[in-house]
């Protein structure tokens, strides 16, 4: 009987922990969507497909998965120079977003979980703060 109680308590704890984490991710995604519509949509478009050869896509973008820190750096500090996204070369400039670290985390969570992208790892304000200008 004791073992059933222990297993039940563990299951309830795990369920509460994981549903809370998913709830936090969903809230971050919603906030990020609004920020995206304010600042990012002009270049990367409503569908996240960007403009081939000019503005890289965010939709199903291998760059977001392969280089999460570089992606955060680009939003935080801007980007100049060439990158390759989904086997296409891009060489344009992106200005810094001007967002606070918590807002960058929200935008990253939105784009990493939209446009055909799926990342269950939440980007936190602490992760964004750890990315420094080079």
pLDDT, tens only, 73-124: 999 999 999 999 999 999 999 999 999 999 999 999 999 999 999 987 899 9
pLDDT in the model for residue 5: 53
pLDDT in tens, 84-94: 999 999 999 99
* DSSP state letter for 51: B
Residue with tokens 């992106």: 94
What is the pTM assigned to this prediction?
0.84
CATH assignment of the domain containing 8: 1.10.760.10
The number of folded domains in the chain is 1
Per-residue pLDDT averaged across 16-43, rounded?
89
Which residues constitute the domain of residue 57? 2-130
pLDDT in the model for residue 6: 58
- Concatenating the DSSP letter of every residue in 58-94 gives -TT-HHHHH-HHHHHHHHHH-B-SEEEETTEEEE--B
Burial class (CB within 10 angstroms; exposed 0-12, middle 13-18, buried 19+) of 134: exposed
């Amino acid at each position: 009987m004791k073992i059933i109680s222990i297993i039940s308590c563990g299951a309830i704890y795990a369920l509460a922990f994981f549903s809370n984490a998913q709830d936090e991710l969903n809230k971050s995604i919603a906030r990020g969507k609004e920020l995206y519509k304010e600042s990012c949509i002009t270049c990367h478009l409503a569908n996240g497909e960007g403009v081939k050869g000019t503005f890289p896509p965010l939709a199903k973008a291998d760059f977001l998965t392969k280089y999460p820190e570089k992606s955060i750096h680009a939003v935080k500090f801007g980007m100049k120079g060439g990158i390759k996204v989904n086997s296409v070369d891009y060489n344009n400039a992106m200005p810094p977003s001007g967002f606070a670290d918590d807002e960058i985390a929200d935008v990253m969570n939105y784009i990493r979980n939209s446009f055909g992208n799926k990342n269950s790892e939440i980007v936190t304000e602490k992760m964004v703060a750890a990315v420094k200008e080079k």
